[in-house]
Amino acid sequence: PLPTVAIIGRPNVGKSTLFNRLVGKRLALVDDQPGVTRDRREGEASLIGLEFKIIDTAGFEDEDAATLPGRMRVQTEAAVRDADVALFMIDARAGIVPLDEEIARWLRVTQVPIVLVANKAEGRGGESGFYQAMALGLGDPIGLSAEHGEGMADLFDALRPLI
């Protein structure tokens, strides 16, 4: 069976953009069917020939700020439970916000290896967020642009020894 990588992070950091890039045309057909839950998507990812199952944790875009962390925690922990690696994504342009720090705390107490990814790192707009991410205590982040396909070789280098 393929190893499993779960993409974790607060809404709008670019999780689904990375999922779509890695899964591409192999996206499960069920995803296009109406009424299918958007809470969690699974697909078969291929990254420079490295193949793995990928889980996109989703949503909560309409959630109000008071209930978002609790719902995210349940969903995050469920995704991480089945994963060999947690790919924790932050938004380098927005910088680190309290919810990122909270997710980092949840992840630190799990046994699963964590790969920290600073997305939206294309150009120079992501520099300060990239450095803020270093302070999460999860090691140096991998600078990525899921939208533009930058940083994929670095992501490969980080994932390969773990899966």
Among candidate residues 40, 100, 107, the one with its CA nearest the CA of residue 75: 40
Candidates 47-55, 106-114, 132-140, 142-150; binding stretch for ligand GDP (CB under 6 A) = 142-150
Distance CA 38, CA 1 (A): 24
Closest to 22 in 3D by CA, of 160, 163, 161, 155? 155
Q: Does 16 bind Mg ion (CB under 5 A)?
A: yes
- 3-state DSSP assignment of residue 91: strand
| Nearer to ligand GDP among residue 42 and residue 122 (C-beta) | 122
Residue 122 binding partner per list ligand GDP, Mg ion, none, with a CB distance cut-off of 5 to 8 Å that depends on partner kind: ligand GDP
**Residue 20: C-alpha distances to residues 4, 24, 54, 107 (Å):** 16, 5, 10, 24
For ligand GDP, which is the closer residue by CB, 15 or 53? 15
- Out of 17, 52, 88, 133, the only residue in the binding site for ligand GDP (CB under 6 A) is 17
Close Cβ partners of 64 (under 8 Å, ≥ 6 residues apart): none
User: Could you say which residues in the range 56-75 bind Mg ion, by CB under 5 A?
Assistant: 58
Q: Side chain identity at 134, as an amino acid letter?
A: M
| Segment interacting with ligand GDP (CB under 6 A) among 74-82, 96-104, 127-135, 139-147 | 139-147
Q: Which residues of this chain interact with Mg ion, rule CB under 5 A? A: 15-16, 58
Residues making contact with ligand GDP (CB under 6 A): 9, 11-17, 119-120, 122, 145-148
